[in-house]
A and B are shown apart, each in its own frame.
Chain A
Amino acid sequence: MSPLSTVSVSIIAIGVLFLLTIGDEDDKVREDGRIEVEYWEKWTGFEREAMEDLVAEYNRSQDQVYVKFLSVSNIDRKLMLATAGGNPPDVAGIWSSNLPVFASNGALTPLDVQLSESSLGEQGYLPSVWRQLVVYDRVWALPATPGTNALHWNKQMFRQAGLDPDRPPRTIAELEQYNDQLTQFGDNGQIQAMGHLPVEPGWWSASWSIWFGGTIWNGDSRVTATSDANVAALKWIESYPERYGAESLMGFRQLSGVFASPENPFFRGRVAMVLQGPWMYNFINNFAPKDFEYGVAPFPTIDEEDYGASLVETDCLVIPRGAAHPEEAFKFISWLQQPEQMEALCLAQLKFSPLKEVSEDFYERHPNPHIHVYRELAEHPLAQIRPQMVTYNDFSNDMVNAIDNVMRNKMQALEAAQEVQKRQQALFTRKHEAWLKIQDKRLKEWDQE
């Protein structure tokens, strides 16, 4: 073969191979005649296995649809890109906190019509869970498994410090009193162990105002980072470097090991009290010493009358816009909402049920003896959801940095709050104004669907 024909043949071969990889994605009918519904989930590990079992059960239960389960990391980013690219899955498991951004960008299919034709609806769910699924007066998802945040405390450390291991603190003042009793310094003046440290693990930096009786958004056009509650929360954090020294706190924070490992400071007895959720049961079983003794209770609040306030979040299932089989997808999601399936999922994922009614023996069958605490927090009148603010990710990121600045004594609480307020208000106003421009068009689109 001449060089010219060699090159031509190679190029044709590459072209053919490329074309072969582009299949017809839209109409996936399997060989056995069942419609294939693609389902992307964020979970890995035991939570994934739990859902996979249920998917397999659904596939056995009927012969019309086959749900293909795929575990996908960074699902929010990938789902957004896949939807933008016009090739989304039929069902996706995301976090309720993703809903405002996804919905306002038109990435999801509203479920209202399908819900009105089914027996499912608001009446069946815990109000604090249902509230999260509704954005712009439309329902965008149905829940998978929910969680709340609670105080987890190490009973052995309480005993060693002369505290009653069965009496957790109920107010922030009490928390700090315990903290002083539990915190230990080494010979070189460095902190060896602490009662509590707000940045351990620091996953809810934007939510501290909940336990200080307020919020960071007025639900409309105003960000309220300088609300009394948020400033009080930052002032509480400011008291840490004042009492324990910014430099020694910095050193102590460096000792935080990987969360999901035996190095976790809570399991190692380095921090006695942490704000965490129901998943801790699994991590404690896997990584904490065998004799680890802990309790779970509502996180202390600034006012004792608010005791029981908490943040409720939920994993949820959505149908992306442009999904090839929305009806089949909805059928699968509705099947999962049936009490039997939902409880099986919650038991296997070690969560409480988002449904109002719970079967009598649910708590007996549940492996986690503390599960009712988390559920009671979700039922509490002060249960709060994440503000459904489209710039929440930015806000949260800014709060992480503000708290870090306060913790390192580089900024005063009020100054930090004002800086966040200024930046986030500008950012939010910009997004909000852009939304107002397209609002009517969007609402019309949704009503037609």
Chain B
Amino acid sequence: MGPGVSRSEKRKIIAGLLFISPWVAGFIFLTLYPLVSSAYLSLTDYSVLADPVFIGLDNYKHLATDQLFWQSLWNTFYFAVLSIPINLITAIFLAVLLNFDLTGKKIFRTIYFLPSLVPMVCMGVLWQWMLNGQVGLINQVLWPICDALNWMTGTNLAPPNWLANPAYAKAGLVLASMWGVGNAVVIFLAGLQDVPRTLYEAAGLDGCSFWQKTVHVTLPVISPVIYFNGIMSLIGSFQVFAVPYVMTNGGEGPGRSLLFSATYIFNKGFESWSMGYACAVALILFVIVLGLTLLATYLSERHVYYAAK
């Protein structure tokens, strides 16, 4: 603090620092320290109980040829690529609908938000049954549709055994994850309500249709919100764990189709007690998410519009 800082300013700075100190302490002890120590542990053979033994890059060497690691990474990317756009588009679509001035819109907003309040474990159990190939609600709806199609076209279609068939397991999980879209919807709604009416009026005077207004007014103005939700769902989808873990009763899905990176980290760390190895996987996942986030920031720089700038 320079000589120009007055006594009262100094007091304010100290008070400010004290106010944020619980967060800073939390960050240092609960985030930064584990991050740094897991980076170190990834270079060791560590079974949690015995002291870690330094083995250099050995864990990473094994990872390079670990088929299950690559499969878990592939599954994670597959899920992210499938779920992020679907969830974002659905959330924007719902938010736009809920932004219309309808009677009872508050009730609708509540209804669409409610599922995201359901705890992950309950969601896993619930969707395990929703997606059941024989008695699940999804297939109860699909059966008559398949029957009708079969009758008309003479095909032999049947709804899939979602969670027993590797070809459909991830699609089933994406379907389940759409249930948690309510959070993003609320954030989009807040963004939508921030779009100045004057812009719509001006666009209206220029003869813009609803679609043109959406593309040229709404989306650019809410672009920071889209960016935020995009990054959050990117991080979220790379951390996917609880729902598939519960859905498969702690397993890895048919043909390991629901073995995600986070599942693999958990299994290695807490089932095989190879914590050093698990840390190496975690660190790689961290680098990937960091890289993707930076890439997204770079790519979206030209497209994200901040009113304050």
Q: Contacts A80-B273, A253-B164, A254-B161; is A423 near B67 (CB within 8 Å)?
A: yes
Q: Is the CB of B19 within 8 A of A7?
A: yes
Does A107 belong to the interface (CB within 8 Å)? yes
| Docked pose: A81 CA to B47 CA in angstroms | 10
In the complex, B212 has a CB within 8 A of chain A: no
Interface residue? A174 (CB, 8 A): no
- How many residues does chain B have at the interface if contact means C-beta atoms less than 8 Å apart? 34
- Provide the bound-state CA to CA distance between A404 and B251, in Å: 11
Known: A80-B48, A106-B49, A397-B271. A4 touches B254 (CB 8 A): no
B150 at the interface (CB under 8 A from A): no
Docked-complex contact A393 and B272, CB < 8 angstroms: yes
Q: Which of B131-139, B222-230, B281-289 contacts A (4 or more CB under 8 A)?
A: B131-139
A28 and B272 alpha carbons, distance in the complex (Å)? 33
Q: Which residue of A lies closest to B250 (CB)?
A: A397
Q: Is B15 an interface residue (CB 8 A)?
A: yes
Nearest-neighbor residue (CB-CB) of A401 within chain B: B256
Cross-chain pair count, CB within 8 angstroms: 76
Which of chain B's residues have a CB closer than 8 A to the CB of A393? Answer: 271-272
CA distance A397 to B272 in the complex (A): 10
Asked if B161 and A250 sit within 8 Å, CB to CB, the answer is yes
Q: Is A243 an interface residue (CB 8 A)?
A: no
Q: Are B272 and A391 in contact (CB under 8 A)?
A: yes
Q: Is the interface of A mostly helix, strand, loop or mixed?
A: helix
Contact B256 A251 (CB under 8 A): no
Q: Smallest CB–CB gap between B155 and chain A, Å?
A: 16
Q: Of all chain A residues, which has the CB nearest B67?
A: A423
A77 within 8 A of B: yes
Most buried by B among A80, A101, A107, A254: A254
Given A250-B165, A434-B45, A105:B272 Cβ within 8 A? no
Q: Are A7 and B161 in contact (CB under 8 A)?
A: no
A423 vs B62: C-alpha distance when bound (angstroms): 11
Residues of B within 8 A of A (CB): 11, 14-15, 18-19, 21-22, 45, 47-50, 53, 62, 67-68, 132-135, 161, 163-165, 251-252, 254-256, 267, 270-273
Interface residues of A (CB under 8 A from B): 3-4, 7-8, 11, 14, 77, 80-81, 83-84, 101, 105-107, 247, 250-251, 253-255, 391, 393-394, 397, 400-401, 404-405, 408, 410, 423, 430, 434, 437-438
25 A-B pairs, CB-CB below 8 angstroms?
A3-B15, A4-B14, A4-B15, A7-B18, A14-B22, A83-B49, A84-B49, A106-B49, A250-B161, A250-B164, A250-B165, A251-B133, A251-B161, A254-B132, A254-B164, A255-B134, A255-B135, A391-B272, A397-B252, A400-B251, A401-B255, A405-B255, A423-B67, A434-B45, A434-B53
